[in-house]
A and B are shown apart, each in its own frame.
Chain A
Amino acid sequence: DTAVSQTPKYLVTQMGNDKSIKCEQNLGHDTMYWYKQDSKKFLKIMFSYNNKELIINETVPNRFSPKSPDKAHLNLHINSLELGDSAVYFCASSQDRHRYYEQYFGPGTRLTVT
């Protein structure tokens, strides 16, 4: 069973469109995250939710809106997509928000904006 899953794996879309990426974890974890990995492989945290509550919101354009319907799911909706949004987006989860817990990552969603 996949611990952290993301759909879709690949997403190709045009500038100006709106798209969503879904994430689900079956580990029973309380905390979930979204990361962006750029073309140079730099990883940056975007958002973190703990038990459906937003706890980290980095400097991300408000075109990006996370939604957590329950603690096992954290979806990412992106409005008005721009070329610079092209990246690989990773979802992750950890047991809870304490800093000593490691994170488990999904396989990533490669977003290409044309």
Chain B
Amino acid sequence: AQSVAQPEDQVKVAEGNPLTVKCTYSVSGNPYLFWYVQYPNRGLQFLLKYITGDNLVKGSYGFEAEFNKSQTSFHLKKPSALVSDSALYFCATYNYGQNFVFGPGTRLSVLP
């Protein structure tokens, strides 16, 4: 089983609307969960992480994510999307072998 899944290949949202990019995980215990963003022809940039504590994590560029242990989810959210948020988003965690694994990525398109 995949350690982290992103059920949507693509998400489209209008500028100014809230956005959600979904992520579910399947590792045991308390997971360390991360979100990264990749702009075209660029490396990945760290957005935010959940290690422990408050389930709502705030990160860069107005993004936040909510850790939900019962649903094994860590969805990325932003109250008001910008066209410049259009990019590829990766959820990541550590698998059973203690290696860092990325989800398959979700392409976010924010339409003007």
Contacts and interface: CB of A to CB of B under 8 A. Distances in A.
B100 A105 contact: no
Question: Chain B interface secondary structure, helix, strand, loop or mixed?
Answer: strand
A65 B31 CA distance: 31
A69 to B, nearest CB: 22
A4 interface: yes
Interface string B14-54: 00000000000000000010101010011111100101000
Interface stretch (A12-20, A38-46, A70-78): A38-46
Interface in A40-72: 40-45, 56, 58
B43 A58 contact: no
B98 to A, nearest CB: 7
A99 B52 CA distance: 12
A56 B98 CA distance: 9
Nearest to B88: A41
Q: Which of A33, A102, A108 has the most CB of B within 10 A?
A: A102
B11 to A, nearest CB: 15
Interface of A: 4, 33, 40-45, 56, 58, 90, 92, 99-100, 102-108
Interface of B: 32, 34, 36, 38, 41-46, 49, 51, 88, 90, 94, 98-102, 104-105
